[in-house]
Amino acid sequence: MTAPRQVWPPEFEARYEAAGHWTEETLPGFFRERAEAAPEAPAVRFGGGTLSYADVDRASDAVAGGLRGAGFRPGERIVLQLPNIPQFFSAMFGAMRAGLLPVYALPAHRRQELEHFVDAAEATGYITVDRHAGFDYRGLARELGGSLDPSRVFVVGESDEFRSFAELEGATARDLVEPDAAEVAFLQLSGGSTGLSKLIPRTHRDYVYTLRESARICGLTTKTVYLGALPIAHNFPMSSPGTLGTFYAGGAVSLSPSPSPDAAFPIIERDRATITGVVPPMAIMWARAAGKTPHDLSSLEVLQVGGARFAPEAARRIEPALDVHLQQVYGMAEGLVNYTRLDDPLDVRVNTQGRPISDDDEIRLVDAEERPVAPGEQGHLLTRGPYTIRAYHADAETNRRAFTEDGFYRTGDLVSVTEDGNLIVHGRVSDVINRGGEKIPVEEVENHLMAHAGVHDAVLVPVPDPYLGEKSCAVVVPEDPAPTALELRRWIRERGLAAFKIPDDVMFLDAFPSTGVGKVSRRDLRAAVRVRISSEAPNG
């Protein structure tokens, strides 16, 4: 079985090829070229050590051989759940060189999310770590036991009854596969619009295109040291330009276990990091911490901020506090990525989220009936282009909702475009809470709340938060006896959801407000409850 293709209509394929956007380059292929051109160049810095391009290249080949030896066949899917450690790259490139499609889980994901990824991707393997940030991932692997064969689970570190990832890195390279650039390279995760996260099939040629252009737009060179501070499995630190864009430019990646100033600042000093990307709450924290830190941050030239709305007042504080160049990034794992450019005036860097990577990115702003809005007005952003998917992986129902008939992706974001062509993100039409860059699909959490015997009905609504932008509040109509807020929060954790999905607040109502006659949609209900919260608690 070979990897599936993601299908663009033939006239678009021809256009993107003719424009030179799409080439024959593949992800493991370009990395091999860099390793051949400059084998001793530093690729990954971690914990004071350095791996060269040749080191990572060799380890990737070994992992590929080890996976083939373990019985994996090209076309199969394998879930990768790794923190910011160097093995992330040998696992990823190794899986691709074995012909497998990685599925990138975040370290924060727990049993519910993992089961869903394994299920939806029909994954047959899992690569994880023994422990990270106080959590034992072997326990999670055991919980997945029903759906995954333990002989196809690989653990970095102490592997217990599972197989050791070190064994894979020591295997003999064999039966390597050269993927075709038109094939799907991996499945990335969506922030989720309704219900559970969707799987996003990205091809080699569309992703390599974003890496090449992102590296150019962000000014990367062989001298670049990119700090991977956010979880590197996420699309932003992976590709905008992220770790892979840095490899594309022949630069070095330095890894921090967390984006907090305590963890990241000493690493910036040690590895002389030149660029990194963080979410707005972290950027604010960095700006505050910079004045007091003993660490030398002078190597840092560019601080990228993205993943959630960055208030202009906060954005304005970044450059003076950190003596860096602020770059706003508005992107999505489905494709479209916008950057403020390095030579944009301060006003643009502070007040906008930038403009698309490509001249072939099509932007359409529409009202609720999908009619174009007037220039300068806010509208729901629809987009299509050379690296935006035309369909999610195997999900016909979602695809009908998420894409227009002529192939535009409905982003769920409310956006306006300035006269000079920069986008400003104002909010959302989709049912997702953006908790400081972490996306909470509200319906998923509501379903788990309603599974509790003490819950008659529940909605999850966003509440403004000065630090996170938004946090979540569960509004619950209880049964008798009513559960406590603590019990409900614990319930969500015990159901096996990522911690960022646990409601920050819980509020009880005797009944939901009436939203009129007839069938009430959950969205109307959330809107009605939101109004009620803001009128009862005007300060949020």
List contacts with ligand J2J (CB under 6 A).
Answer: 190-191, 235-236, 239-240, 306-309, 328-333, 337, 353, 411, 413, 425, 428, 434, 439
Instruction: Return the number of the residue (148 or 189) whose C-beta is nearest ligand J2J.
Output: 189
CA neighbor of 237 nearest in space, from 211, 268, 271, 206: 211
- Rounded to a whole number of angstroms, the minimum distance from the CB of residue 434 to ligand J2J is 6
Cα separation, 320 vs 112, in Å, equals 43
Shortest Å distance, C-beta 103 to ligand J2J: 15
Least distance from C-beta 444 to ligand J2J, angstroms?
Answer: 15
Q: String of b and e for 479-488 (b: at least 16 CB within 10 Å)?
A: eeeebeeeeb
Q: How far is the CB of 18 from ligand J2J (least distance, A)?
A: 26
Q: Which residue is nearest to ligand J2J (CB)?
A: 331
User: Is 275 or 333 the residue whose CB approaches ligand J2J more closely?
Assistant: 333
* CB of 154 or CB of 330, closer to ligand J2J: 330
**Between residues 159 and 203, which has the closer beta carbon with respect to ligand J2J?**
203
Alpha-carbon distance of 123 to 126, in angstroms, equals 8
Cβ neighbours for 145, distance < 8 A, ≥ 6 positions apart = none
Q: How far apart are CA 126 and CA 77, in angstroms?
A: 9
CB closer to ligand J2J out of 312 and 376: 312
Give me the amino acid identity at 303.
Answer: L
Q: Which is nearer to ligand J2J, 125 or 441 (CB)?
A: 441
Cβ proximity to ligand J2J: between 240 and 276 the closer is: 240
Q: What is d(CA 248, CA 254) in angstroms, rounded to the nearest whole number?
A: 15
Cβ proximity to ligand J2J, 68 vs 410, nearer residue:
410
Task: Rank residues 34 and 428 by Cβ distance to ligand J2J and give the closer one.
Answer: 428
Phi and psi at residue 13, in whole multiples of 5°? -55, -45
CA distance 30 to 524: 49
In terms of DSSP bridges, do strands 379-384 and 362-366 run parallel, antiparallel, or are they unpaired?
antiparallel
Q: Which is nearer to ligand J2J, 182 or 337 (CB)?
A: 337
* C-beta of 83 vs 242, nearer to ligand J2J: 242
Residue 401 CA from chain centroid, whole number:
21
Q: How far is CA 167 from the centre of its chain?
A: 29
Q: At what angle do helices 87-97 and 27-37 cross, to 10 degrees?
A: 120
Runs of H (alpha helix) within 495-538:
522-536
- Nearest distance in Å: CB 278, ligand J2J: 11
Min separation Cβ 142 and ligand J2J, Å:
29
Q: Is the peptide bond before 241 cis (omega within 30 degrees of 0)?
A: yes
Please, what is the minimum distance in Å from the beta carbon of residue 331 to ligand J2J?
A: 3
Q: Which is nearer to ligand J2J, 62 or 322 (CB)?
A: 322
Residue 479 CB, shortest distance to ligand J2J, in Å, is 35
> Do the Cβ atoms of 438 and 533 come closer than 8 Å?
no
User: Considering only CA atoms, which of 126, 114, 31 is closest in space to residue 77?
Assistant: 126
**H or E element in which residue 443 lies:** helix 442-450
Q: In the complex, what is the shortest distance from the CB of residue 480 to ligand J2J, in angstroms, rounded to a whole number?
A: 39
> Which residues are CB-contacts of 257 (< 8 A; sequence separation ≥ 6)?
83, 84, 132, 133, 263
Q: Return the number of the residue (428 or 495) whose C-beta is nearest ligand J2J.
A: 428
Helical ranges in 70-192 per DSSP H: 87-97, 111-121, 137-143, 165-169
Nearest distance from C-beta of residue 335 to ligand J2J, angstroms: 9
List Cα–Cα distances, 272 to 50, 232, 264, 287, in angstroms: 13, 19, 11, 18
Write the Ramachandran bin of 219: left for phi over 0, alpha for psi from -120 to 50, otherwise beta.
left
Structure tokens at 258: 């967390």
Alpha-carbon distance 21 to 358, whole Å? 9
Shortest spacing between CB 240 and ligand J2J, in angstroms: 4
Q: How far is the CB of 494 from ligand J2J (least distance, A)?
A: 26
Q: What are φ and ψ of residue 215, in 5° steps?
A: -60, -40
Contacts of 359 (CB under 8 A, 6+ apart): none
Q: How far is the CB of 343 from ligand J2J (least distance, A)?
A: 19
DSSP state of 77: E
